[in-house]
Amino acid sequence: METGAADMTDTNERAARDEVLALARAAKGAQVQLAAAPAETRTRALRAMAAAIMEEAGRILDANAQDCAAAFALPTHLLDRLRLDRARLEAATGGLAQLAGLEDSVGKVGAEWTTHRGLLIRQRRVPLGLIAAIFEARPNVAVDLAGLAVRTGNALLLRPGVEARRSVLALVEAMRRGLAGAGLDPRALAAVESPYRAAANELLHLRGLVDLLIPRGGPGLIAEVTRTASVPVIETGIGVCHIYVDRAADLQMAVDITDNAKTSRPAVCNAAEALLVHRDVAGRFLPEVAARLQAKGVELRADPESLPLMPGARPAVEDDWGREFLDLVIAVRVVPSLDAALEHIARYGSGHSEAIVTADAEAAHAFLAAVDAACVYWNASTRFTDGYEFGYGAEAGISTQKLHVRGPMGPGSLLSSKFEILGCGQVRE
């Protein structure tokens, strides 16, 4: 019997790998047509995908209900991300409509010049090719990514978390019908059916087929993909974000920003994980912010100096600094100066989003210049690090790396370029 079970596992894993390979090859083939089509065709496809999702809303919501029923053991915040309803479908298809209205840059010439040898060089924007995404339980990620892929002439292969499998397959089926309706090969968009881990592993190593792999999910998933993939990866979404309340802060604004950055959606990467407060205002600010946060159920982990100012707080341990709680928890520290805040952020930040609250323009500019992160805020919540908020229409993730794209990934991040060099027989001496 044991051999039988092992055989079955082998068979399932082989089938998973075969499925991924077949889908990837078909998608890569279909991508050529998608990229060569006129921009209007991709625009039409985006509208048709949105229409198909709303037409098939009943079937999609049924599939989602099955996913939710099967995932009853998930923590509440994950279950909330998994759940679809008509409003969420409308929001997702609204994103597709927004992308349909955006300029299409596929094949556009970005720069053009003539060299001293008389060669005409044109840098043309081209799709990356096949984009793969490994994500967890949020089905609407599939719609965002599909919209971005079609707008940019890229094929897309999705590997959803098992919890969202039925929902994503139903969404992809509808969107493929939209693609076909616009006269495009629907195989440019696909989702892996196999729930086996071997499917994800296969995706990580399809060098030459997968041009970009985007991991979307928790820190564990992202770290594993970044460490093990041999295809190109963009690291997304590890957010250890700080709010620094300067001595010259408008303290009411600072309370509002801290509250929003911590509590409006604690499980996302642009939520704040730590609060740094200048010593000069700690006595007035901390009791007030503590009351506001505690009223919303936030646990405060305080350094020795802030602890007595926040009744009900507990002492922070070293491990609390630089930690992505992704929960209603925040670490709090009093700092003697702006420089001390900058040092703390340099040491513990993840290069995602950092904010200063201050009325002092000099302090603000010093903060903006010194902090090495994708997004640096002056008097605003870190929660705005988001493709929609940036006006990109959708978002493929938030890059925390410095190469290729940094911050919210809009359509431009899914394009590469190619040089066309036109001569009349030039050779090099």
Minimum CB–partner distance for residue 22 and its own copies (Å): 19
Residue from 23, 52, 290, 374 in contact with its own copies (CB under 8 A): 374
Q: Which one, 175 or 249, has the nearer CB to its own copies?
A: 249
Cβ neighbors of 124 (< 8 A, separation 6 or more) are 107, 108, 109, 110, 417, 418, 419, 420
* 87 binds its own copies, rule: CB under 8 A: no
Which region, judged by CB under 8 A, interacts with its own copies, from 140-148, 294-302, 323-331, 420-428? 420-428
Q: Which one, 196 or 377, has the nearer CB to its own copies?
A: 377
Minimum CB–partner distance for residue 376 and its own copies (Å): 5
* 230 binds its own copies, rule: CB under 8 A: yes
For 100-234, list the strands marked E by DSSP: 109-114, 120-127, 130-135, 155-159, 189-191, 212-216
Residue from 91, 109, 119, 291 in contact with its own copies (CB under 8 A): 119
Q: How many of the chain's residues bind its own copies (CB under 8 A)?
A: 63
In this structure, are residues 153 and 45 in contact, taking their beta carbons and an 8 Å threshold?
Answer: no
Q: What are phi and psi of 252, to 5 degrees?
A: -65, -45
Between CA 400 and CA 393 the distance in angstroms is 20
In this structure, are residues 34 and 153 in contact, taking their beta carbons and an 8 Å threshold?
Answer: yes
Minimum CB–partner distance for residue 105 and its own copies (Å): 14
In this structure, are residues 84 and 69 in contact, taking their beta carbons and an 8 Å threshold?
Answer: no
Phi-psi region for residue 118, left (φ > 0), alpha (ψ -120 to 50) or beta?
Answer: left
* 427 binds its own copies, rule: CB under 8 A: yes
Listing from the earlier edge strand, what are the strands of the sheet with 353-357? 314-315, 299-302, 329-335, 272-278, 241-245, 353-357
Helix 57-70 vs helix 86-101: crossing angle, to nearest 10:
120
* 332 binds its own copies, rule: CB under 8 A: no
The footprint of its own copies on residues 234-293 (CB under 8 A) is 234, 250, 253, 256-257, 259-261, 264
Q: Which one, 186 or 408, has the nearer CB to its own copies?
A: 408
Chain residues in the site for its own copies (CB under 8 A): 36, 113, 115-117, 119, 121, 126, 128-129, 211-212, 227, 230, 232, 234, 250, 253, 256-257, 259-261, 264, 368-369, 372-381, 383-386, 389-391, 401-404, 406-407, 416-429
